[in-house]
Amino acid sequence: MKQFVLLFLLAILPSTLAANQIVKYHYWFNNNYADKEVVEVTPTDTLELDFELPISDLPPGFHFLHIMFEDESGKYSAPEASYFLIPHDIPDYENSKVVGYEYWFNENFANRQYIQTSEEDTLELDLEFDISQLTHGLNFINIRYRSSDSLWSVPETNYFVIPIQLDFTVDYQIVGYEFWFNSDFANRQYTEVAETDTLELDFELEVGHLPQGMHLVSKRFKTSDSTWSVAETTYFIIPFEFEGNSDYDMVGYEYWFNSDFENRHYIEVSATDTIEFEELIDIDNLPNGIHLFNYRVRADDDNWSIPITDYFNSSFLTNLVGSSNYVKGIKYWFDGESDKNYIYYHDSLVYELNIEQDIDVDNIIGNRTIFIHAIDSSGYQSLPITFDFRNSFTFEIDKNIVTFDIPEISGYQYQWNFGDGNSSTLPNPTHVYKKGGTFDVRLILTRGIPSVKDTLIEQVTITLVTNEILLSQGWNMISTYVIPDVFGLETIFTEISDNTVIVKNNAGQIYFPEFGINDIGDWDITQGYQVFMSQPETLSILGVQVIPESTTINLSAGWNMIAYLRNSPMDIELALASLTDDDNLIIAKDNFGNVYYPAFEINMIGNMLPGQGYQIFILNSDTLVYPEN
């Protein structure tokens, strides 16, 4: 049976019961006063109730219990209500399992996706969701789980933002702007301009249709790729119009501190065109720190001017010489983190503020400002002095591999653009450049609440290396260990094209310079090539050095012509070990007719050499990865 346990202590009774004792109490559920229960008790001044109420006839959900007391004269107290919840009957989950889940984006429950899983006590999801159909901006995903008894969990909701992706390698131009007043975005005004890097706006806005008072104007800019900037908002006031009478006189003024308008002070003066404010104002009752001083003047038509506000500090003595106060230390904090301040005390008291303290800013990243206050011997603080500084990311370059480093701070978001069309959201990514040159690496750092975006830019220079390949007259089989800066065969062979008769790849395609035939197209760094020369030459290929242990060569069953990707010689038995471990390699040949025949332990090739190509025959398709340099 469902029962409700009530512990009720009546501490104060209404005045109508004050002279008499409680002899009964009445109770009922919800609005069902007609079925109330009446319980008699031993006469008492104070009644403590501790009893169980049957609730088996009440449905699951939210209910309330009313109770009132009756004294010996038949008078009643005011009813008092207590709320309680009867939960829905839930099956025993001891043997229940998770058998699936479904998810949907935003309010689109109708298009939810259901995924069935094996029966599990606990289900951990590590999934990638297709969000290509969602709009840029704030979205949310909802997930709920299904149990083996066909019940669903309460949905879990997580929010995420789909940012607008900008390609920072593109030189964007401003092509227009639009503006609107207040929240009237529907009536925004668009103006097209000639393409420009910087747009300075200097024009008059028509505000005659706006009422008097405070307003805001919002503007945003359109770029050449049809994306919009974040809107900028500026506040302005349309003043109330007064009668065209220039003979107003001022007859008084009033002032107040901070937001304490209620305790403002009014001073009446003789009617005058100009008031010179020279009153000595008592600020002894103000606490230490920064305050606002507000004042306004009154005209003889009883209208008031707009208040004027000035800031002042009521604590620190700026002229310390000859006073009893000395500088004993500093307090400093960083923009956006005023709740985190640091205090450093000098070894001795001094008259002047002298900042020689080493301040740790390793974890203060971005374009930042430090605020420094002096602390005197009475504990007062000066107004802050500020210094702007920049704490950017660092990086290490190993050939064409760049490792970026910046402190990883909880709550910060990192958006990297490596300057070559690639990006990352990892705090400390490692990036492999496929070409040489100097790249502007941008990090957009989002920090704080409300969020602040910092853009940090550093230049990374990837040095190119030259692989010089000696070509003899006749046939050669070559490859390279650099990624060419330009892949087209016409460009690679430009300097020696007069003596290059033909170039062939493993598929039989050719490059025939004399007749302008190029069936091969671009150079593939994983492949070897046969080159026939009319006389000896040196082929110089400029590019970024290959990382052999990170480069996979795909091989098909039968004959392949492969590149040797290391920059130093290595015995062919070690270099091709991954192909011989499962007896897949039958034979390897170099350009001179030497062979490596692993089944018969014949190795005439010895070391594989940089710049050379090799032919191999394998039984089954496979992959080849060379050891590191």
69 close to 10: Cβ distance less than 8 angstroms = yes
Nearest Cα to Cα of residue 393 among 427, 347, 350: 427
Domain boundary among 342, 366, 390: 390
> Do residues 479 and 615 both lie within one domain?
yes
- The answer to whether position 186 is within a domain reads yes
What is the span of the domain harbouring residue 359? 327-390
Q: What is the pLDDT of residues 374-411, one digit of tens each?
A: 777 667 777 777 888 888 899 999 888 899 999 988 88
Q: What is the pLDDT of residues 134-146, one digit of tens each?
A: 887 778 899 988 8
pLDDT of res. 528? 96
pTM (predicted TM-score): 0.42
Number of helices followed by number of strands (H, E) in the chain:
3, 46
- The answer to whether position 629 is within a domain reads no
Share of the chain above pLDDT 70, in %: 86
CA distances from 81 to 9, 50, 150, 433, 608 (A): 13, 16, 38, 72, 91
- Reduce the DSSP state of residue 106 to 3 states and report it: coil
pLDDT of res. 399? 82
For every residue of 114-154, DSSP letters joined together read EEEEEEESS---------TTSPSEEEEEEEEEEETTS-BPP
CA 79, chain centre distance (Å): 55
- Reduce the DSSP state of residue 187 to 3 states and report it: helix
Query: Mean of the per-residue pLDDT values for the chain?
Result: 82
Q: What is the pLDDT of residues 340-382, one digit of tens each?
A: 777 766 655 555 555 566 777 888 888 888 888 777 766 777 7
Q: How confident is the model at residue 90 (pLDDT cuts 50, 70, 90)?
A: low
- The answer to whether position 243 is within a domain reads no
The answer for residues whose C-beta is within 8 angstroms of residue 3's C-beta and 6 or more apart is 52, 53, 54, 55, 56
pLDDT of res. 52? 80
- The answer to whether position 245 is within a domain reads no
- Reduce the DSSP state of residue 8 to 3 states and report it: strand
Q: Which two tokens stand for residue 466?
A: 């030259």
Q: In what order do the strands lie in the sheet with 232-238?
A: 189-196, 174-181, 213-223, 232-238
Q: Which two tokens stand for residue 437?
A: 């040159």
> Do residues 617 and 492 both lie within one domain?
yes
Q: In what order do the strands lie in the sheet with 602-603?
A: 558-563, 613-618, 585-589, 595-597, 602-603
Instruction: List the CATH number of the domain containing 426.
Output: 2.60.40.10
CA atoms of 134 and 155, how far apart (whole Å): 20
Q: Which two tokens stand for residue 208?
A: 């005659």
Share of the chain above pLDDT 90, in %: 31
Number of domains the chain is built from: 7
- Reduce the DSSP state of residue 245 to 3 states and report it: coil
> Does pLDDT of 15 surpass 70?
no
Name the β-bridge partners of 297. Answer: 253
What would the mean pLDDT of 536-544 be, rounded to a whole number? 92
pLDDT of res. 243? 52
CA 117, chain centre distance (Å): 32
> Do residues 29 and 124 both lie within one domain?
no
- Reduce the DSSP state of residue 526 to 3 states and report it: coil
Q: What is the pLDDT of residues 461-502, one digit of tens each?
A: 988 888 999 999 999 999 999 999 888 999 999 999 999 999
> Does pLDDT of 336 surpass 60?
yes
17 close to 69: Cβ distance less than 8 angstroms = yes
Side-chain-side CA neighbours of residue 88 (13 Å): 3
Q: What is the pLDDT of residues 260-283, one digit of tens each?
A: 888 899 988 888 888 776 677 777
CA atoms of 77 and 237, how far apart (whole Å): 58
> Do residues 28 and 121 both lie within one domain?
no
- The answer to whether position 244 is within a domain reads no
More confident residue, 39 or 226: 39
pLDDT of res. 322? 36
pLDDT of res. 388? 83
Side-chain-side CA neighbours of residue 341 (13 Å): 12
CA atoms of 228 and 231, how far apart (whole Å): 8
Instruction: List the CATH number of the domain containing 102.
Output: 2.60.40
> Do residues 475 and 619 both lie within one domain?
yes
pLDDT of res. 620? 93
Q: How confident is the model at residue 613 (pLDDT cuts 50, 70, 90)?
A: very high
- The answer to whether position 44 is within a domain reads yes
> Do residues 201 and 338 both lie within one domain?
no
The DSSP letter of residue 31 is: T
CA atoms of 184 and 6, how far apart (whole Å): 56
CA atoms of 585 and 598, how far apart (whole Å): 7
> Do residues 473 and 620 both lie within one domain?
yes
> Does pLDDT of 12 surpass 60?
no
> Do residues 373 and 398 both lie within one domain?
no
555 close to 624: Cβ distance less than 8 angstroms = yes
Domain boundary among 462, 479, 498: 462
> Do residues 610 and 499 both lie within one domain?
yes
pLDDT of res. 518? 93
CA 466, chain centre distance (Å): 41
pLDDT of res. 133? 86
Contacts 24+ apart (CB under 8 A), 395-399: 395/441, 395/458, 395/460, 397/460, 397/461, 397/462, 399/544, 399/545, 399/547
pLDDT of res. 356? 60
Asked whether the bond before 450 is cis by omega within 30 degrees of 0, the reply is yes
- The answer to whether position 321 is within a domain reads no
Q: Which of 121-130, 225-234, 237-246 is predicted with the least confidence, judged by mean pLDDT?
A: 237-246
**Residue 258 identity (one-letter amino acid):** N
The DSSP letter of residue 77 is: P
> Does pLDDT of 244 surpass 50?
no
| Residue position matching structure tokens 């800031």 | 311
What would the mean pLDDT of 444-470 be, rounded to a whole number? 85
> Does pLDDT of 128 surpass 50?
yes
> Do residues 477 and 607 both lie within one domain?
yes
Q: Which two tokens stand for residue 376?
A: 């005197």
The answer for residues whose C-beta is within 8 angstroms of residue 322's C-beta and 6 or more apart is none
> Do residues 375 and 411 both lie within one domain?
no
Greatest mean pLDDT among 9-23, 88-102, 262-276 lies in: 262-276
- Ramachandran region, residue 34 (left: φ > 0; alpha: ψ -120 to 50; beta: rest): alpha
CA distances from 416 to 175, 230, 424 (A): 26, 20, 5
Domain boundary among 446, 462, 478: 462
The answer for residues whose C-beta is within 8 angstroms of residue 421's C-beta and 6 or more apart is 167, 169
Instruction: List the CATH number of the domain containing 28.
Output: 2.70.50.50
Q: Which two tokens stand for residue 575?
A: 């270099």
What would the mean pLDDT of 307-333 be, rounded to a whole number? 60
pLDDT of res. 94? 62
pLDDT of res. 288? 60
pLDDT of res. 321? 35
CA distances from 311 to 246, 291, 318, 383, 574 (A): 31, 6, 16, 11, 77
pLDDT of res. 325? 57
Total residue length of the chain: 629
Runs of H (alpha helix) within 341-493: 489-492
Q: How confident is the model at residue 9 (pLDDT cuts 50, 70, 90)?
A: very low
Q: Which of 304-308, 413-417, 447-451, 533-537 is predicted with the least confidence, judged by mean pLDDT?
A: 447-451
pLDDT of res. 568? 94
> Do residues 126 and 56 both lie within one domain?
no
In 10 A of CB 589, how many CB atoms?
19
- The answer to whether position 168 is within a domain reads no
> Does pLDDT of 563 surpass 90?
yes
> Does pLDDT of 86 surpass 80?
no
